[in-house]
Amino acid sequence: MLTTELEKDLKWPSSIVVSEVGPRDGLQNEKTMFTVEQKISLIERSVEAGAKIIEIGSFVSPKAIPQMADTDEVARRMKRVDGVEYRVLVTNLRGLERAEAAGIKKAKLTVSASRAHSLSNLNRTPEEVLRGFAECAEYAATHGITLSGAISTAFGCSMEGKVPIEQVITAINGFREIGVKELSLSDTTGMAHPQQVYAYSARVKEQFPDITWNLHFHNTRGMGLANVMAGMMAGIGRYDACFAGLGGCPFAPGASGNIATEDLIHMCHEMGIDTGYDLDKMISIGKYVQEVLGKDTSSFVLKAGKSSDIVKVQNK
């Protein structure tokens, strides 16, 4: 058996879609407040580097998340490129109205698969949160906005432990009832492991073949890229990532954030999997983020460089 035959055996995809969620999920976790100009620069540069889906911010309570208070202005002033999906996170009808006013055509709703997490964050059960989305769906339909859904703590919850797939399916059904066709399973707490990712991904993909599936991983316990591999083997083609690997876990201070966009596309390109990104441009964006923050982040490639970087070493 030849190496090339073996490589085929694992059925890697030839390409995946990487959504850049840094402007929202990354920046909202930083104490440093990025200016509107800096945010616009990050968005425009990410799109120029190859992002086809970018989460530019959220329309939520500015008291709860002050880092996202200026998303309206960001959305109005940023340059838009045809064919790129500029997405925002919203939590209710008010957020959706702000999205509409800012000319945003794609909004993401999120619900927690964990009851304890939902109660702790929103003081409402997942079922109550999902019921609240009905008016959003109606508004979206009449205003030309497409909705996607994210299911947070889809694998584990720091308060409840491992989240059974039945709770995930309850959330999926809630989203399906309001007509959402694109869903993300989010490992909010960095507890997912490859076997679980494979099992959950394969299950939802088979049970709900009409849904476009996305996975969202944190690298909290070092399994971020291993989980992407497991997702790819289960046939999932879309992954969130965040420039410089920003985005901590509130339950594990000091822990790593989202998988870094540059780490994910570096691995993919090394494996011959196309992402449509220019890795060097994403590395330079990551370095800019670190400069603004004045600190290192949990990105690996920003520290170590690409595998293809050749080092000249003097003979000893």
Of positions 54, 109, 185, 230, contacts its own copies by CB under 8 A: 230
* Burial grade of 181 (CB within 10 A; 0-12, 13-18, 19 or more): middle
**Distance of alpha carbon 116 from alpha carbon 120, whole angstroms:** 6
Of positions 124, 176, 193, 238, contacts its own copies by CB under 8 A: 193
Give 3-state DSSP helix, strand, coil % of the chain, rounded to 5: 45, 15, 40
Among the listed residues 21, 55, 32, 29, the one whose alpha carbon sits nearest the alpha carbon of residue 248: 29
Work out whether 219 is an interface residue with its own copies (CB under 8 A). yes
Work out whether 166 is an interface residue with its own copies (CB under 8 A). no
Work out whether 216 is an interface residue with its own copies (CB under 8 A). no
Residue placing its CB nearer to its own copies in the complex, 147 or 197: 197
Work out whether 195 is an interface residue with its own copies (CB under 8 A). yes
Using an 8 Å Cβ cutoff, are 219 and 187 in contact?
no
Among the listed residues 107, 44, 104, 55, the one whose alpha carbon sits nearest the alpha carbon of residue 76: 104
Q: How many helical (H) and strand (E) elements, i.e. helices and strands, does the chain have?
A: 13, 10
Within residues 50-69, the interface with its own copies by CB under 8 A covers none
**Distance of alpha carbon 106 from alpha carbon 149, whole angstroms:** 11
Residue placing its CB nearer to its own copies in the complex, 5 or 82: 5
Of positions 52, 105, 124, 203, contacts its own copies by CB under 8 A: 203
Give the per-residue contact string, 104-133, with its own copies (x = CB under 8 A; - = no): ---------------xxx-x----------
Minimum distance from residue 243 beta carbon to its own copies (Å): 14
Within residues 261-280, the interface with its own copies by CB under 8 A covers 263, 266-267, 270-272
Segment interacting with its own copies, rule: CB under 8 A, options 89-97, 104-112, 133-141, 295-303: 295-303
**Distance of alpha carbon 113 from alpha carbon 261, whole angstroms:** 25
Q: Which residues are catalytic?
A: 249
